[in-house]
Chains A and B, each alone.
Chain A
Amino acid sequence: MQKFSAWSLLKQAFGGHRGWQPQWRRAAPQSSYDAIIVGGGGHGLGAAYYLASEHGMNRVAVLEKGWIGGGNTGRNTTVIRSNYLFDESARLYDHAVKMWRDLSQHLNYNVMYSPRGVLMLAHSVHDMQVSKRHIHANRCNGVDNEWLSPAECKAFCPPLNIGHDIRYPVLGGALQRRGGTARHDAVAWGYARAADALGVDIVENCEVTGICRDANGAVEAVETTRGRIGSRKIGVAAAGNSSVVMGLAGIRLPLESFPLQALVSEPIKPVLPCVVMSNAIHAYVSQSDKGELVIGAGTDAYTSYTQRGALHVNLHTLAAICELFPAFRRLRMLRNWGGIVDVSPDRSPIICKTAVPGLYLNCGWGTGGFKATPGSAHLFAWTIAHDEPHPLNAPFTLERFRDGLLIDEAAAAAVAH
């Protein structure tokens, strides 16, 4: 792998940058692999990378129906945090946050992980109770999260309106300092480049159209738009399309795919030093390195694969943003887009073996999968390689729905009583 560094950049500058090599090969699918990952987003590319780098599997392919990183990896608002309520969740997400810390160095690709702090606002007594439960639980799990008074919130995030002139004044906030953002495309490309260097085939424009099973019911191949490809281990990391892909193996999932929209403002000089989130009034905002305010809107009410949503969802979000940051009204929405988020009943992911031998599943990340990318990929690779879950993802099975052992992060943030 061609090394990326300031030095190599300088050296290449003298050659007019003509010496750079492709970051990953444009691979054509071989007839069979030791493992196939369906879905070339961050989770899938990362899983392939860890299969190759940590589990010695170098005959691995990632099959992507479009272009890598083109799904939710390239469409999310890049928020990273691990201050989840339930012990299982906090440990899972914190595994990822710890990996974010040196992911750039690990991949030799600057993913621009920026721990600028994630501030989650509370607007009611109930919000405060929920926040504080998170803070206590996180602390006991070794996950940083602290309570800030309104004045402390303002000090941490100067443009924030903590006045009482708004409908739901800010009563405080939970701050995770290690939370922050990263550059989403770089995550996909960095994993692709590193995996490719280890021999992983990254096959774009290759849609899986069938999952083939042998006489014992175990997987043996996939049918694709680029032909049949054999493998005894198939990992599905298809996010919003998980139900479609798993349907090829006859498996119905506890998922619904909703449109989730995001938008950016025109670039402005630095004004927002951290990530600010308000679950109560649906405002999620940070500022990118380029200067754009990156804003997450809510999901639309109905399931859809169109990758677009309704205007009124954005109106609601921007109203909330303008309440919290009244100086932003004259800023302008530059670009809006939608993704397809696979939402599970308890808003927690599924990383597990399935009833079909050799078929593994990583889905259900809903609106929050990006933050988990390295951890999810790492644990998924482990699960595929060992044919059993890692202790950190062991609770995140499909069976938990049958057994009632939900990890209900949605209910944990229950609405007002």
Chain B
Amino acid sequence: MLLIHCPYCGPRPELEFSYGGEAHIARPSPPESVSADDWVAFLYLRANRRGLQAERWRHVRGCARFFNALRDTTTDQFLATYRCGEPRPDGGGSASP
């Protein structure tokens, strides 16, 4: 069971959280200007990185807020957690929310 640092509440056990998948994937809009390829990329395509990954968690049994985390998927160790809207602490990835 992971120990996750909610940026609002502090360290809490994984049982209090739900996982939200890859972070920094913005929903394209309006629909009529979104290509089929962009749409499927938003809906389904994922980096699924082996290594450092920016991902979303929700402290659903706590403050109920979503936040982002940097985690190494080869060790399950967290490097950082940060609030939605904040840039990736390591400067990687895209800048979108």
Contacts and interface: CB of A to CB of B under 8 A. Distances in A.
Direct contact of A and B (CB under 8 A): yes
Contacts of B2: 302, 310
A3 interface: no
Nearest to A342: B48
A287 interface: no
Interface string A287-303: 00000000000000111
A306 B36 CA distance: 34
Contacts of B46: 243, 252-256
Contact of B45 (A241, A253, A303, A304): A253
Given A256-B48, A402-B40, A303 B55 contact: yes
Given A310-B14, A312-B15, A303 B44 contact: no
Interface string B16-34: 0111010000000000000
B89 to A, nearest CB: 19
B74 A305 contact: yes
A215 interface: no
A176 interface: no
Contact of A304 (B21, B47, B73): B73
A340 B17 CA distance: 21
Interface in A268-322: 301-306, 310-312
A175 B52 CA distance: 44
Given A253-B45, A254-B45, A401-B44, A311 B73 contact: no
Contacts of B39: 402
A309 to B, nearest CB: 9
A311 B1 CA distance: 7
B63 to A, nearest CB: 18
B19 A401 contact: no
A252 B49 CA distance: 10
Contact of A253 (B15, B48, B75): B48
B73 A241 contact: no
A402 B14 CA distance: 33
Most chain A CB atoms below 10 A, which of B17, B21, B53, B73: B73
Contacts of B75: 306
Nearest to A258: B19
Contacts of A302: 2, 19, 55, 71, 76
Interface string A240-251: 010110010000
A345 B40 CA distance: 11
B24 to A, nearest CB: 14
A306 B2 CA distance: 13
A257 interface: yes
A247 B40 CA distance: 17
B48 A243 contact: yes
B69 to A, nearest CB: 9
Given A301-B19, A303-B53, A311-B1, A254 B73 contact: no
Nearest to A346: B44
B37 interface: yes
Contact of B47 (A241, A252, A306, A401): A252
B13 to A, nearest CB: 9
Contacts of B74: 305-306
Contacts of B36: 402
Interface string A376-410: 00000000000000000000000001100000000
B14 A243 contact: no
B9 interface: no
B75 to A, nearest CB: 7
Contact of A252 (B19, B45, B50): B45
A303 B74 CA distance: 10
Contact of B73 (A247, A252, A303, A310): A303
Contacts of A311: 1
B51 to A, nearest CB: 8
Interface in A9-33: none
Interface in A114-133: none
Given A301-B18, A303-B73, A310-B2, A345 B48 contact: no
Interface in B38-97: 39-41, 43-50, 53, 55, 71, 73-76
Interface of A: 241, 243-244, 247, 252-257, 301-306, 310-312, 345, 401-402
Given A255-B48, A256-B48, 9 more contacts: A243-B50, A253-B45, A254-B40, A302-B76, A306-B75, A310-B14, A401-B43, A402-B36, A402-B37
Nearest 9 A/B pairs, CB to CB: A243-B48, A254-B44, A252-B45, A402-B40, A301-B19, A302-B19, A310-B1, A305-B50, A401-B44
7 contacts: A252-B46, A254-B46, A255-B48, A301-B19, A302-B71, A303-B53, A305-B50
